[in-house]
Amino acid sequence: MTAPTQHSGDSAQDLPGQKPGTQLPRPRRWAVLAAAAGAGIGSGLLGTSLHGHAWYPGAGDSVVPYGAALALLLLAAVSLFVGLWSRSSWVVVACGAAAYLTAGALSLQLGSFGMITNNVQGSVWLYGIAVVTPLVAWLVWALLRSKK
């Protein structure tokens, strides 16, 4: 029986189940930017289609915008994935910016048409993007920093 040998390429960034010393290559810059833009636009479109769902408990004027909360959860999950994949917290900001631009374009009231209206659900969705994006960027930064 031989003793295990230490490879010169061992690093703390090895993934579980990988051979020691092997690491996935860093994605290229154009691929990172394309992924951030695509993920942001996709999250903006899907979140806009989801944000309007609401629950009106009782006969009062109260509303629970669960669709907007789920849309923000979707954006957070996609941004977290893209940020960890690219190993950069700035990519999360680019993803959130693309989602915000998409939602902003869909909120334009052109004539009598606008997908995001001035109600609780629309406000939670639009302002929530601006809150969730820096929080997820900070989380990615903290996770990547702890791996070093």
pTM of the model: 0.77
Listed residue (137, 124, 127) closest to 63, CA to CA: 124
Q: Model confidence over 14-62: pLDDT tens digits? A: 555 556 656 667 778 888 889 899 999 999 999 988 888 888 887 778 8
Q: Model confidence over 3-12: pLDDT tens digits? A: 444 444 444 4
Average pLDDT over all residues of the chain: 82
Alpha helices in the chain (DSSP H): 29-50, 66-86, 90-106, 120-147
- Angle of helix 29-50 relative to helix 120-147, nearest 10 degrees? 150
CA–CA distance, 15 with 121 (Å, rounded to integer): 40
Assess contact for 134 and 89: CB atoms under 8 A. no
Q: Model confidence over 69-81: pLDDT tens digits? A: 999 999 999 999 9
Q: Model confidence over 96-143: pLDDT tens digits? A: 999 999 998 888 877 776 677 778 888 888 899 999 999 999 999 999
